């Protein structure tokens, strides 16, 4: 089935045209995938993270509804959703790092305090690095975002960005190397 003929794409176009009933029909079709994306984003978070996948999806849903965006197709919708999920997680991480919330101090048990662990970059550092990558090469940054935060396949990313899957693969390899270097030096 061509991307423009999928039920999701048809409902997105109807919703963009002002049909509010289309949104009610759309959400059950995309909810499970949004929940999977949210779970995947949260899987790399620290243990005891206060956000849950359902809350993340609900917040993304509210922002999607209020965005007024004109979605071209399913891939575009999930690309925007991925960006929103990432932004919600980054906003949450920044809020948790505020001084009144402990200034980012790790909550650990006494046993854990005895063990010395190297500092690992967090979501805020990754977001900052992705922003720096976007200033150098916006497409590579978007490929990373769509892959890791959006959970899109190479083919879906290629369709969303109008490039070939091989280019997606190359961009992702280069972006990973760039991010590794950037985060290692931080």
- The residues spanned by each domain of the chain are 1-102, 118-186
Its sign, for the CA torsion 51, 54, 56, 59, is: negative
CB atoms within 10 A of CB 14: 16
CATH number of 1-102: 1.10.1740
Domains 1-102 and 118-186 share a fold: no
Q: How far is CA 45 from CA 29, 48, 97, in A?
A: 27, 9, 14
Per-residue pLDDT in tens (0 to 9) along the chain, 186 residues: 455 567 888 888 888 888 888 888 888 888 888 888 888 877 766 666 667 888 888 888 888 877 777 788 888 888 888 888 888 888 887 787 654 445 555 544 433 433 344 455 677 888 888 899 999 999 999 999 888 888 888 998 998 899 999 999 999 999 988 888 888 876
Q: Which residue has the tokens 């950037």?
A: 182
Residue 104 contacts residue 150 (beta carbons within 8 Å): no
- Note the pLDDT of residue 5: 63
Residue 32's H or E segment, with its range, is helix 20-43
The whole-angstrom separation of Cα 9 and Cα 19 is 14
Domain at 118-186: CATH code: 1.10.10.10
Q: Where are the alpha helices (DSSP H) in 44-164?
A: 53-67, 74-96, 110-114, 123-136, 138-144, 154-161
Residue 26: what pLDDT? 86
Helix (H) or strand (E) holding 78: helix 74-96
What pLDDT is attached to residue 143? 92
């Amino acid at each position: 089935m061509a991307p423009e003929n999928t039920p999701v794409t048809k409902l997105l176009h109807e919703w963009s045209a002002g049909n509010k009933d289309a949104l009610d029909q759309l959400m059950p079709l995309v909810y499970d995938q949004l929940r999977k994306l949210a779970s995947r984003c949260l899987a790399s978070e620290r243990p005891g993270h206060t956000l849950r996948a359902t809350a993340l999806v609900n917040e993304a849903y509210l922002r999607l509804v209020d965005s007024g965006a004109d979605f071209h197709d399913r891939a575009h919708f999930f690309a925007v959703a991925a960006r929103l999920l990432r932004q919600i997680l980054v906003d949450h991480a920044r809020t948790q790092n505020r001084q009144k919330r402990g200034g980012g101090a790790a909550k650990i048990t006494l046993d854990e305090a005895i063990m010395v662990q190297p500092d690992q970059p967090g979501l805020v550092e990754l977001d900052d690095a992705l922003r720096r990558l976007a200033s150098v090469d916006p497409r590579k940054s978007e490929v990373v975002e769509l892959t890791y935060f959006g959970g899109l396949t190479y083919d879906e990313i290629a369709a969303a960005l109008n490039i070939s899957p091989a280019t997606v693969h190359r961009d992702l390899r280069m972006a990973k190397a760039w991010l590794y270097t950037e985060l290692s030096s931080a």
